Amino acid sequence: MEQTSTKALALLKENELIERAKNRDNAAFEELVRRNQAKIYNLGLKLLGNKEDAADLLQETFINAYYALPKFEGKSAFSTWLYRIATNNAFMKMRKKKIPLVRFETEKNDSDQQQVTFNIPDWSNDPRAHLKNEELKMLIEKSVDALPGKYKTIFILHDIEGFSTEEISRMLNLSISAVKSRVHRSRMFLRDRLSQYFHAGFKQGVNQ
Amino acid sequence: MKCEKYLELISMYLDKELDRIFLDDLEEHLSLCENCMAFFKTMKKTITLSRTYYHMKCCKVPKSVSTHMFYHLRIIYKKEKI
Ligand SMILES: [Zn+2]
């Protein structure tokens, strides 16, 4: 197929670019890469926590996408399809690094259920609950990183990137109810971590 | 219903995915139960703080990283042609 000029490409709609790229118009493919690379790179930073792995993930994802593109049927949005490739690559990297994918490492499984029978402090208006608080930023990052890989991924896709439970269920081949329950458990875990910070000592008090 | 039962409903409520049949019950419970209300508010805050934090952190792809990727892609195009 004839290659399209770079200037003309910038004006094309995504589905036109996809059609051209499927027919191996590489300039069209590269325009798709340019439009989506920041999303995938930032996803890699969040999921894998460092620039080197994020750069690897970015490259692998678009190489895989290049090979798989002729089979792309447009049943989902192109970006959703890319995220599917990227998350699968991220899971492989996590496995290699022996990051647990589904098991909570430190927390006991029943810790979620214990809380509500006790007094729940409302720290939502605490003056420290603000992103100018460097300690809190570090805590958020550390807590999200402490989630098992698949929970972290689902939390990020759902609560940070804004994908719907249906989209995530298709992306990760999970049932909708599994996605929902993992979103919920991740939030419980994170809320619990933040609560411990805002009310240091509250947990010990409660457990007496 | 015990408070525990409301936790997952609160999560769905935050996503506006809660079935109507549970909605009135939950809203009534929230108006009466301080614990669940605190849970609701702190859960919501946890999500907004995390979302805002990660959105603030979003960055461009470093030029060198992007260039490196395109370099590899171009090797692949050539391989495919052969
Ligand atoms: Zn309650």
With cut-offs at 50, 70 and 90, classify the pLDDT of residue A204: very low
Cross-chain CB nearest to A123 (options B34, B42, B47)? B42
Higher pLDDT, B44 or A108: B44
Report the pLDDT value the prediction gives residue B9, as an integer from 0 to 100: 94
A141 shares a domain with A70: no
pLDDT: is A104 or A29 the higher one? A29
pLDDT at A105: 60
Is residue A53 a contact partner of residue A44, using CB atoms and an 8 Å limit? yes
Both A86 and A36 in one domain: the answer is yes
Which pLDDT belongs to residue A106?
53
Residues A89 and A46 in one domain: yes
Is position A108 within any domain?
Answer: no
Examine the domain organization and report whether A81 and A42 are in the same domain: yes
CATH number at residue A158: 1.10.10.10
Convert the pLDDT of each residue in A75-99 to its tens digit: 889 999 999 999 999 999 999 999 8
**Residue A119 — pLDDT band, cuts 50, 70, 90?**
confident
CB-nearest to A140 from B6, B17, B49 is B49
Do A27 and A84 share a structural domain?
yes
Q: What is the CATH number of the domain that holds A16?
A: 1.10.1740.10
Is residue A101, in this structure, part of any structural domain at all? no
Domain limits at A66?
Answer: 2-96
* Residue A89 and residue A131 in one domain: no
Closest-CA distance of chain B to residue A194, Å: 7
pLDDT of residue B58: 94
Task: List the single range of A172-176, A187-191, B16-20, B78-82 with lowest mean pLDDT.
Answer: B78-82
Looking at the structure, tell me whether residues A8 and A84 fall in a common domain.
yes
The reply to whether A133 and A198 lie within a common domain is yes
Best residue in B29, B49, B60 for a mutation probing chain A (most A CBs within 10 Å) = B49
User: How many domains does chain A divide into?
Assistant: 2
Lowest mean pLDDT among A19-33, A94-108, B38-52, B67-81: A94-108
CA of A113 from ligand 1 middle (Å) equals: 13
Question: A42 vs B58: CB contact, 8 Å cut-off?
Answer: yes
